Amino acid sequence: MTRRAADGGTPLAPTRRVHVALADRSYDVLVGAGLLGDAASLDSLRAAGSAVVITNEVVGPLFLERTLRALKPRFASVFVHTIPDGEVHKTWTTLNGIFDALLARHFDRNTTLFALGGGVVGDITGFAAACYMRGIDYVQLPTTLLAQVDSSVGGKTAINHPAGKNMVGAFHQPRLVVADVDALASLPERELVAGLAEVVKYGAVLDDEFLGWIEANLSNLLDKDHGSLIHAVTRSCEIKAAVVAADERESGQRALLNFGHTFAHAIEAGVGYGAWLHGEAVGCGMVLAARLSARLGLIADDRAGRIEAVVRRAGLPVQPPHVDASVLVALMRVDKKAVNGEQRFVLLEGAHGAVVAAAPEDLVARVIDDARAP
């Protein structure tokens, strides 16, 4: 049957389906338009007694009504819990508030959590699902570009600690991811641009052809062209799905998906969570990682320049904030890729490759300081 827009008008593009192959933890990522209000998007879910939608005070008014319309025919009861908006609230306090709400209403293991929002909502909902009664099902309903292409897929859940971003969490795979590009229409430009950082990341480290497509279609993505967004989200999820299937718990290849993130997490903590969006920090972090790769002789200057050019064209920052380099270097020591206290970075290597390797702290600090030069 041809799916049509909610107003019955223009036929919608066919839904794309990306499979994340993890044996009994396998699931699909659905990418398309008009999916949030479509009950058929949930057909793969097992029968469950209760649904709990976790959203925030910004996303709820925009997408909650259509989400509930899809959920209510399928669940005996549907409950909504709203959390504060922003990275600064990805904390134990917010997580405990979710547990309090679930326990107060006697929700049992036959309950599915639905994360309706961006990366913060997805991360904290996933972590709540991993912990509540030692693990219950959850579904990702990402409403930002960054969440659709990255954080909703792969089962990494967490909250922040003052000493580092995402330092307390668990691997817990969702049962389904529904990425509705219609949700991106209301996304502020800053949030859209932040999401493009993760799209660029996939091309930069794992698919040079995709990077070329991004360079050619960047203006369409910034204009929120439906077809371009669907392709960008689908291809990003395909790349991530393949990596996660091969390395679910980040012991090898999956670490490459952290390109730019060692710098980025330090930037976010250094300026205070929420001052820079995660994608903004990743954009800058990729530029710094590319420069570090060149300084180490792993790549030619033109490959580093290509990364900086696409990051700049996307509207992402290419210069680090005015936080002392020694502070940022110290924050990197608690990065999850560190081994025996030694910093490790995802670095570009050769014409198209990438590698996880150590780098001297003094060189890292010089790269940060040099990037501030006009």
249-275 pLDDT, tens per residue? Answer: 887 889 999 999 999 999 999 999 889
Q: Which two tokens stand for residue 98?
A: 């979710």
Average pLDDT over residues 18-25: 96
* pLDDT in the model for residue 121: 97
* pLDDT in the model for residue 7: 46
Pick the more confident residue, 337 or 164: 164
* pLDDT in the model for residue 12: 60
* pLDDT in the model for residue 340: 66
Q: Indicate if 134 belongs to the active site.
A: yes
Q: Catalytic pick from 106, 134, 322, 340?
A: 134
Q: Which two tokens stand for residue 124?
A: 């904290």
Q: How far is CA 239 from the centre of its chain?
A: 13
Q: Indicate if 198 belongs to the active site.
A: yes
Tell how strand 156-161 and strand 353-358 pair up. Answer: unpaired
pLDDT tens digit string along 106-115? Answer: 999 999 999 9
Average pLDDT over residues 172-194: 96
pLDDT band, residue 6 (cuts 50/70/90): very low
pLDDT for 82 beyond 80: yes
Q: Indicate if 258 belongs to the active site.
A: yes
Q: What are phi and psi of 159, to 5 degrees?
A: -125, 165
Average pLDDT over residues 205-220: 97
Q: Percent of the chain, pLDDT > 90?
A: 86
Tell how strand 111-117 and strand 137-142 pair up. Answer: parallel
Q: Indicate if 248 belongs to the active site.
A: no
Q: Percent of the chain, pLDDT > 70?
A: 95
Please state, in angstroms and rounded to a whole number, the distance separating the CA atoms of residues 151 and 119: 6
Q: Catalytic pick from 201, 258, 306, 344?
A: 258
Sign (positive or negative) of CA dihedral 152, 270, 272, 267: negative
Contact at 8 Å (CB) between 323 and 258? no
pLDDT for 5 beyond 60: no
pLDDT for 3 beyond 80: no
Please state, in angstroms and rounded to a whole number, the distance separating the CA atoms of residues 224 and 184: 8
Q: Enter the pTM of the model.
A: 0.92
Q: Catalytic pick from 90, 165, 231, 278?
A: 278
The rounded mean pLDDT for the chain is 93
pLDDT for 195 beyond 60: yes
Q: Catalytic pick from 66, 90, 261, 344?
A: 261
Please state, in angstroms and rounded to a whole number, the distance separating the CA atoms of residues 183 and 187: 7
pLDDT band, residue 339 (cuts 50/70/90): low
* pLDDT in the model for residue 4: 46
Q: Indicate if 268 belongs to the active site.
A: no
* pLDDT in the model for residue 333: 87
With 0-12 CB in 10 A as exposed, 13-18 as middle and 19+ as buried, what is 184? buried
* pLDDT in the model for residue 184: 96
Q: Catalytic pick from 191, 198, 280, 308?
A: 198
Lowest mean pLDDT among 69-83, 210-224, 230-244, 341-355: 341-355
Q: Indicate if 250 belongs to the active site.
A: yes
Please state, in angstroms and rounded to a whole number, the distance separating the CA atoms of residues 111 and 130: 12
Q: Which two tokens stand for residue 308?
A: 């900086």
Q: Catalytic pick from 66, 89, 90, 156?
A: 156
* pLDDT in the model for residue 335: 73
* Closest by CA position to 323, among listed 282, 278, 363, 263: 263
Q: Indicate if 261 belongs to the active site.
A: yes
* Closest by CA position to 151, among listed 236, 217, 84: 236
Q: Which domains does the chain have, with CATH numbers?
A: 16-187 (3.40.50.1970), 201-228+249-371 (1.20.1090.10)
